[in-house]
Amino acid sequence: MTSKSKALCKLPVLIILLAFINVVEIPIAHARCRNVAGTLKEKAGATPAVTTVGTLRGGLVGTYSFTITNTIPNSQIASVSLFNGSSTITTRKGDILYGIDAGAIDSTSPGNLVDLITITGGTSALRNASGQIRVQGNFDIAKGRGKSTYKGRICIP
């Protein structure tokens, strides 16, 4: 096969590709992402064993509320429980982030905890937000308060 005939064989593929590009609009989403880090101070909420409320400082400034939806006792370490829940972060501008939590907490003092919040959306300027925030620190169940640090990344399409 000559080089000219090889080029002619590729021509139909090129024409189809160009036609596809001109007919089909391929959306390209350019999410704006930002890293966030700071502190979270919490206290027991209206239902102490199930909810907490708190204040965020740092990359996110506003209020925080958390509700446990499920706990799983640890058969190996009696004081440690796994948990699932939901978080709501309200910024000082009034925008809201929604998240689903998965974590672990030790019920003995000082109540060491880790939590991964997966952002599932938001309102206003945070609409359709995504990302994750890692929380680590403590929450003393007996005293009903705790302090943690957070670090993560939030993206808005």
pLDDT tens for 2-18 read 554 444 444 444 344 33
The domains located in the chain, with CATH, are 32-156 (2.40.350)
Model confidence band, residue 48 (pLDDT cutoffs 50, 70, 90): confident
pLDDT > 90 fraction of the chain, expressed in percent and rounded = 71
Q: What is the rounded average pLDDT for all residues in the chain? A: 86
| Separation between Cα atoms, residue 104 and residue 113, nearest integer Å | 6
Q: How far is Cα 136 from Cα 50, in angstroms, rounded to an integer?
A: 19
Q: What is the pTM of this model?
A: 0.79
| Amino acid present at 135 | V
Helix (H) or strand (E) run with residue 16 in it: helix 3-23
pLDDT score, position 2? 56
